[in-house]
Structures are given as C-alpha cells and as structure tokens.
C-alpha cells in the first residue's frame, strides 16, 4: 500500500467478465479528477440534525478507489454523530496530503500503518501488526496522531496474469529475480523511489525490471491486462484480482510489511473524533473491505452509497 500508496499496487477469468470489469474500473478511475487536489470538495457538507457548532471536518482521500471509499465511510460516520463533515478525494501522494493535514485544510485521512511508519523512518523493517502500529504512533510529528487501527489490511503486491505466471513459473516475488530484466513493471510514479518500491525489490529480492511504466489507479490494471506490462503493483484488496483471475506473487521476505487501515488525524481534533472513528475501525475487516470495493469497482455503485449502506448495516449511520 503504498500508493503506494498506499499506494500504494491478471488475465480475464472469462472474456466477457474481464472486459466488463476492466471497462467499469477505467470509467471509475476517470471520475472526480481535479487540477488542485486540495481545492475541490466531492461531498458537500451536511448540516447536522442537532445543529452542532463544532468545527467542520474535511476527510481527505488519495487517488485510488479504496481511499475514496474509506473517506466516505469516515465522513458519513461523523455526520451521523452530528459532526459536519465533507470529503476531498483524489489528492494524490502522501507528501501532498500530509501538507493538507499540517495546514488545516484536512483533518482526517485513511492511512496504512506500515507505509506510514516507513515514510517517517526509512530504515524501519517491522512486520508485526502491533509493533508497526506502535512505531507509527512513535514517529508521527507532534501535530498528528492515529486512532484505533482496523483489522482490515490492504498491502502492496506484485501481481501478474495467469499466463505470465505459467510462462515464467512465478509463485513468489523471489521467482522474478532471474527474469525481471525481460519484463516491464507498472506502478504509481512514487513506487520508483519508495523504500518498499523498486529500491526494496532490488535490495530485498535482487529484482531489477527491464522497464518501468508509471501509471495510477485502473491504468495500472489496464496496462497489465493488455500486455503493456507483465508485472503490476496492485493492492491486495482490489476486486480485480478475482474478477480477472490474476496471480498475487507471495512476499516471502515481507518487503511490504504490515498494512492495517488506520485513521490519521490532526491531533487537536483526535479526542473529539476518536469514539466515532474507532467504532468504524472495529467494524472494518479485510473480507468486508474486499466486498465493499467489489461494489464500487465492479458493480459501479457510488462510493458514498456503498459507504452509507455499510454504516447502516453496522449501526453507525
């Protein structure tokens, strides 16, 4: 997850399913872009029924569908408790949205424990979920904190089509070492320099790709499935993995660590927001998240609607 965030990071199971899934995913990726990621609000603030005078909360989201969905879940839960909340999706890289949290234009952002720990401590190699969570709390700047982490985990993965896996006998990332020079990797632009990206693949597994094609969102999926690239960095919760019968290569040396979803918040709002967002984290599991993303990415439902249904089902709406 990095974009690696997050980022963060498959051949069609059936031709019709693959084509439909890819088309719907590309259409979703095209929605809601903005030249100034911190300037446009995708969800209008809703006045609370209680007439609360608490300061509004802006929940940011990165430029991939899972982050957009999580932002809508957080914002919807806050509104249900009388806190005026809106979302700003498609913000982009971690470096950009951390500036928004610092300057007060954002108050909440869905994050990933391992990627966040690594961002602040490039040498950190922890993989145990509780240890990584503790590390995050220790390395964050004084103006930021994290609330309770969820059991839901979304990790970066090296993904190939079934045909590529069979052609090169690929089961793990380590298997790429002898053939990567012949292959093209596609991933978000920041994957080129992130410690858990290309540098990590080289230092941990001895993997060096012949070509790197920087793309984002569903452009990565399209490049993999149309043959422009043979290996892609795709998140493990992506529903396209099952929809297009793709193969996730095992990360035997734990390069990508532990990546539990956690709300990153401005510290001066933490105690106010903690009860609401901790309840959301308690309800989020990996299987639940995969199903929610199937609804947004494959079934083409609006993230705000999927978020509202999730909150209602868990008594949080």
| Domain harbouring 119, CATH code | 3.40.190.10
Pair (288, 222) in one structural domain: no
Chain mean pLDDT for the chain:
86
Pair (54, 190) in one structural domain: no
pLDDT in tens, 229-275: 999 999 899 999 989 999 999 999 989 889 999 999 999 999 999 99
The alpha helices in the chain, defined as continuous H runs, are 15-29, 65-80, 94-103, 113-120, 129-139, 162-168, 198-205, 218-225, 240-243, 270-283, 286-293, 303-313
> Tell me, what's the pLDDT at 127?
87
Confidence of residue 294 (pLDDT cuts 50, 70, 90): very high
> Tell me, what's the pLDDT at 53?
54
> Tell me, what's the pLDDT at 42?
44
User: In this structure, what CATH number is given to the domain that contains residue 185?
Assistant: 3.40.190.120
Pair (100, 178) in one structural domain: no
Pair (220, 116) in one structural domain: no
Pair (279, 268) in one structural domain: yes
Pair (271, 147) in one structural domain: yes
pTM above 0.85, yes or no: no
**CB-based contact 86:41 (threshold 8 Å):** yes
Whether 26 is covered by a domain: the verdict is no
Residue 133's alpha-carbon distances to 117, 148, 151, in angstroms, are 8, 9, 12
Strand order in the sheet with 231-235: 211-214, 184-187, 231-235, 156-160, 247-249
Pair (187, 270) in one structural domain: no
Domain of 181 in residue numbering reads as 156-249
Specify burial of residue 226 (Cβ count, 10 A radius: 0-12, 13-18, 19+).
exposed
pLDDT in tens, 46-85: 443 434 457 999 999 998 899 999 999 999 999 999 999 9
Pair (67, 199) in one structural domain: no
Pair (69, 143) in one structural domain: yes
> Tell me, what's the pLDDT at 122?
87
Whether 16 is covered by a domain: the verdict is no
How many independent structural domains does the chain possess?
Answer: 2
pLDDT reading at 125 higher than 90: no
Whether 232 is covered by a domain: the verdict is yes
> Tell me, what's the pLDDT at 92?
79
Whether 306 is covered by a domain: the verdict is no
Pair (44, 121) in one structural domain: yes
> Tell me, what's the pLDDT at 251?
95
The domain boundary residue, chosen from 224, 249, 274: 249
The domain boundary residue, chosen from 222, 249, 276: 249
Pair (238, 160) in one structural domain: yes
Pair (92, 162) in one structural domain: no
Whether 14 is covered by a domain: the verdict is no
Greater model confidence, 15 or 312: 312
Mean pLDDT of 2-30: 36
Beta bridge partner(s), residue 214: 187
């Amino acid at each position: 997850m990095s974009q690696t965030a997050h980022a963060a990071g498959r051949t069609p199971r059936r031709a019709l399913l693959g084509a439909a899934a890819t088309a719907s995913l590309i259409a979703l990726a095209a929605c809601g872009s903005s030249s100034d990621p911190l300037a446009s609000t995708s969800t209008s603030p809703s006045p609370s029924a209680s007439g609360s005078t608490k300061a509004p909360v802006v929940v940011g989201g990165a430029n991939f569908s899972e982050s957009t969905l999580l932002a809508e879940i957080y914002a919807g839960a806050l509104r249900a408790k009388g806190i005026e909340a809106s979302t700003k999706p498609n913000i982009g890289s971690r470096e950009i949205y951390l500036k928004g949290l610092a300057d007060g234009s954002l108050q909440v952002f869905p994050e990933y424990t391992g990627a966040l720990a690594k961002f602040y401590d490039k040498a950190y190699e922890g993989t145990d979920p509780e240890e990584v969570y503790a590390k995050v709390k220790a390395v964050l700047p004084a103006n930021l904190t994290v609330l309770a982490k969820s059991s839901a985990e979304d990790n970066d993965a090296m993904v190939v089509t079934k045909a590529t896996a069979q052609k090169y006998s690929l089961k793990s990332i380590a298997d790429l070492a002898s053939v990567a020079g012949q292959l093209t990797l596609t991933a978000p632009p920041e994957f080129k320099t992130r410690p858990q990206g290309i540098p990590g693949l080289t230092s941990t597994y001895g993997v060096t790709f012949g070509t790197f094609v920087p793309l984002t969102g569903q452009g990565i999926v399209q490049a993999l499935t149309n043959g422009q690239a043979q290996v892609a960095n795709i998140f493990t919760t992506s529903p396209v993995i099952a929809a297009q019968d793709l193969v996730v290569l095992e990360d035997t040396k734990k390069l990508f660590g532990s990546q539990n979803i956690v709300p990153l918040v401005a510290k001066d709002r933490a105690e106010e927001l903690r009860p609401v967002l901790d309840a959301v984290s308690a309800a989020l599991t990996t299987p639940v998240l995969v199903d929610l993303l199937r609804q947004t990415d494959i079934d083409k439902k609006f993230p705000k609607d999927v978020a509202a249904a999730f909150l209602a089902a868990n008594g949080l709406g």
